[in-house]
Amino acid sequence: MKSNILQKSDSFYDIFTRKGGTQLQSTHYCPGCGHGILHKLIAEAISDFGIQDRTVLISPVGCSVFAYYYFDVGNIQSAHGRAPAVATGYKRSNPDSIMISYQGDGDLAAIGANEILQAANRGEQMTVFFVNNAIYGMTGGQMAPTTLIGQKSTTTPRGRSAQNEGFPLRMSEIIATLEAPVYVERVMLTDTKNIARTRKAVRKALSIQIEKKGFSFVEVLSPCPTGWKMTPVNSKKWITDVLSRYFEPGLKKDVSEDRQPVIQMRPQPHFDQYHELLDIKSLSDELKDIALPEIRQVNDEIKIAGFGGQGVLSLGYALANIAMGHAYQVSWLPSYGPEMRGGTANCSVKISDLRVASPIIDNPHTLVAMNKPSLKRFENDVQPGGLILYDSGLIDTAPERKDVQVMGINATEEADALGSTKAANMIMLGAYVKLRGYLSKDYILKALPLIIKNKAFTELNEKAFKRGMELAKI
């Protein structure tokens, strides 16, 4: 392999800014810590395999949280224990990426224990480097699930006792019992020979992912002189003499020869399939003759909020479906209040001519506020230049924002006049469609009864939608 062990790998940044000052070549790790050695082995492998531009390293919560200061690859910092979930999401939507889930023993075997087991059991195409230093290093030396019986920590000052804290978890052995994982090995960072073994394991684990064979897992017994209150030299000796007696190094599972590459396809249904997939096929059949307006450059992030029972979720659902019927990319994310009817509810709808990366909206372009608490809660979040549509019948104080377009629609009273308060949401839909102007009225009138299937509301919804269009004055 290409790398020269004396040189800094290309997959590291030239300068490590974490420590600042004059120490721009040093990491933030304590002297004798194993994290730095493992980083080096991983960085070298990334460079040697030529995968730097498609590698994404997920750093955990723990001492290695700052891995993104060192690795010049795609970096994501995940919540404690959630690295395998983040890696799963990224990999599934970017099958050619190389995902590294880098995790400590607190992160992987305590708060994230279920997460890693499920990811391993699903055989996610990722490589996990599990740094077992038998302690919570970052937070000052608390007991980890891998702390040995009798080992002292700040939370087990008299030593871990099986009766109180249970037995140390052998994660490699547990994961090796699962059907899906391809390769599981435990190694240790003690001496040259074992570091060479670790180097080999790192490369093997990454090759399995490069070959698209599945889930690979390397547990690394790693010194934590600070947490163990030992010198670096004694820490290595302790791994050899004590830690590795319980966590036996070696190959736990390798079925890489038997496994065929699994080519993950990015799920990209053709537009025509969406309605079928969503079980509203009739929508595409019945509406195929309606001429739709040209797709425009649209990027509307819409927050719709009100009381549970006002139909704010249905309004968002209808809007998302209508836009999808026009071939826009959409997302609809409901958020229920603690109680359904009478509580608050809101939903986030994104409509775009481009792919929607995330359904979450922090700063909407459009706010549809159906009651006072919702206006109060979201008014200040609306982007400057955005739109606030509010039910002026229920909200007696108009929005204060001067940098957005504001329009009050007396939706509830107008809906009452049409026969039912419940149609207020469709009045708001009509107002939105009129003001934004990129959706087809003809299409909506035909699509609405197919989206909101309760026939009792068909006529009312149509009237309300039309009334909303009339009420919205451009």
List contacts with ligand TPP (CB under 6 A).
Answer: 61-64, 80, 104-107, 111, 131, 133, 135-139, 144
Residues 250-266, buried b or exposed e (16+ Cβ, 10 A)? eebbbebeebeeeeeee
Q: Of 133, 194, 321, 412, which one interacts with ligand SF4 (CB under 6 A)?
A: 133
One-character DSSP codes across 59-90 = E-SSGGGGGGGTB-SEEEE-STT-HHHHHHHH
Counting every residue written for the chain, the total comes to 474
Which is nearer to ligand TPP, 39 or 275 (by Cβ)? 39
Chosen from ligand TPP, Mg ion, ligand SF4, none, partner binding at 218 (C-beta under 5 to 8 Å by type) = none
CB atoms inside a 10 Å sphere around CB 296: 11
Tell me the closest approach of the beta carbon of residue 273 to ligand SF4, in angstroms: 49
Q: Any residues with CB less than 8 A from the CB of 5 and at least 6 apart, and which?
A: 44
Tell me the closest approach of the beta carbon of residue 124 to Mg ion, in angstroms: 23
One-character DSSP codes across 252-274 = EEE-TTTPPP--PPP----HHHH
Which is nearer to Mg ion, 45 or 220 (by Cβ)? 220
Interface pattern 68-107 for Mg ion (x via CB under 5 A): ------------------------------------xx--
225 near ligand SF4 (CB under 6 A): yes
230 near ligand SF4 (CB under 6 A): no
Inter-residue contact 123 to 261 (CB < 8 Å): no
Nearest partner of 334 among 349, 324, 323, judged by Cα = 349
30 near ligand SF4 (CB under 6 A): yes
Q: Of 12, 16, 29, 102, which one interacts with ligand SF4 (CB under 6 A)?
A: 29
By CB under 6 A, the residues from 426 to 455 that bind ligand SF4 are none
Which is nearer to ligand TPP, 61 or 395 (by Cβ)? 61
Cα–Cα distance, 280 to 262 (Å, whole number): 32
Chosen from ligand SF4, ligand TPP, Mg ion, none, partner binding at 226 (C-beta under 5 to 8 Å by type) = ligand SF4
Inter-residue contact 146 to 174 (CB < 8 Å): no
Q: Of 109, 202, 224, 312, which one interacts with ligand SF4 (CB under 6 A)?
A: 224
C-alpha torsion angle, residues 381, 382, 388, 390 (rounded to 10) = -20
Q: Are strands 98-104 and 55-59 parallel, antiparallel or unpaired?
A: parallel
Which is nearer to ligand SF4, 39 or 203 (by Cβ)? 39
131 three-state secondary structure: strand
Q: Of 106, 137, 145, 364, which one interacts with ligand SF4 (CB under 6 A)?
A: 137
Tell me the closest approach of the beta carbon of residue 223 to ligand SF4, in angstroms: 7
End-to-end alpha carbon distance in the chain: 67
Tell me the closest approach of the beta carbon of residue 105 to Mg ion, in angstroms: 4
By CB under 5 A, the residues from 131 to 150 that bind Mg ion are 133, 137
Token pair, residue 103, equals 């995790």
Which is nearer to Mg ion, 105 or 391 (by Cβ)? 105
- Nearest residue to Mg ion by CB is 104
Residues 107-129, buried b or exposed e (16+ Cβ, 10 A)? bbbbbbbebbbebbeebbbbbbb
Tell me the closest approach of the beta carbon of residue 137 to Mg ion, in angstroms: 5
109 near ligand SF4 (CB under 6 A): no
Chosen from ligand SF4, Mg ion, ligand TPP, none, partner binding at 107 (C-beta under 5 to 8 Å by type) = ligand TPP
Binding interface with ligand SF4 (CB under 6 A): 29-30, 33, 35, 63, 133, 137-138, 224-227
Binding interface with Mg ion (CB under 5 A): 104-105, 133, 137
